[in-house]
Structure 1
Amino acid sequence: MTSLFYAGILGLMFVVLSINIVVSRRKLKIALGDDDLIIKRKIRAQGNFAEYTPFFLILLYMIEKNGTSFLTINILGVLFVIARIFHAYSLLKAEKYVDGKITANPIWRVLGMVTTFGCIISVSMIAIFTSFSQN
């Protein structure tokens, strides 16, 4: 089952993003809250991942179980993983801020979100069309 592989990869990515927050909280001695910009960015990288990934994985699994090709599942899985890497990289490393405002073009975040939306739209449309073709 191919979607299971992507669920595993994305699960590990979620743990890495979560540990990143814990390490920063300990280093900065911030147990609760997000008064630090670095902590806020890490929380949003993890939170955004947690908001979009479950929908994608559920739909990927469902279209796989309903006969979508191995190639299609892998293309969508790889693209989604890359999209989430781009987005996290943007928030954690690439973007520069002054007084909480971004000072450079957030190209990696834009690429990450556009690709994320494209993948979720794709699995959603495949699910809809598959449901009609089976009735």
Structure 2
Amino acid sequence: MPIVPFFAAILALLFFALSVRTLRLRHRLKIGLGDAGNSEMLRAVRVHSNFAEYVPITLLLLFFAENLGAPTWAMLGLGFLLVLGRCSHAYGVSQARENFSFRIAGMAMTFSVLLAATAYVFWVYGRSLLG
């Protein structure tokens, strides 16, 4: 059974939660567009946007890696790492008195998954071209 759809569903729920949080904050602060110079709104928008910027391409690369034969254990590990990374980043950036270690760890985990999946895709294609 494929692994990536399971993690895509988990990440979709996280994206939904971040969306609702941002929408509620907009309603509470009466901010229709942008952040109106409000740092709390800016943080919520950036958490949501950063998720939207990195998760789709990373999931797509995981999907490709899985379809190219990446081992199940690797897909499970990378999927969990991506979820953990996105949660860490969201938590870190959401804090008014930000502890940068959560943000840095979250991006490091996200980048690790992105680069590992990319490397696997290149490796499979490189093997097929050379052999």
TM-score (norm 1): 0.90
Aligned to 2:22: 21
Aligned to 1:74: 76
Aligned to 2:12: 11
Q: Say what the alpha-carbon RMSD is for the aligned residues.
A: 1.2
CA distance in 1, matches of 2:128, 2:67: 13
Aligned to 1:86: 88
Aligned to 1:34: 35
Find the residue that maps to 1:134 and give its secondary structure. Answer: helix
In the TM superposition, residue 105 of structure 1 has moved relative to its aligned partner by 4.6
After TM superposition, list the pairs within 5 Å mapping 1:53-132 onto structure 2: 53-93=55-95, 95-96=96-97, 105-132=99-126
In the TM superposition, residue 16 of structure 1 has moved relative to its aligned partner by 0.7
Find the residue that maps to 2:70 and give its secondary structure. Answer: coil
Superimposed CA distance per residue, residues 108-130 of structure 1 (whole angstroms, 9 cap, x where no aligned partner): 00101111111111110011001
Find the residue that maps to 1:109 and give its secondary structure. Answer: helix
Q: Tell me the number of residue pairs that the alignment of Structure 1 and Structure 2 aligns.
A: 127
Find the residue that maps to 1:67 and give its secondary structure. Answer: coil
CA distance in 2, matches of 1:52, 1:58: 10
CA distance in 2, matches of 1:29, 1:51: 25
Q: Which moved more, 1:123-132 or 1:27-36?
A: 27-36
In the TM superposition, residue 82 of structure 1 has moved relative to its aligned partner by 0.2
Detail structure 1 runs of 4+ shifted over 2 Å in the superposition: none
Find the residue that maps to 2:32 and give its secondary structure. Answer: coil
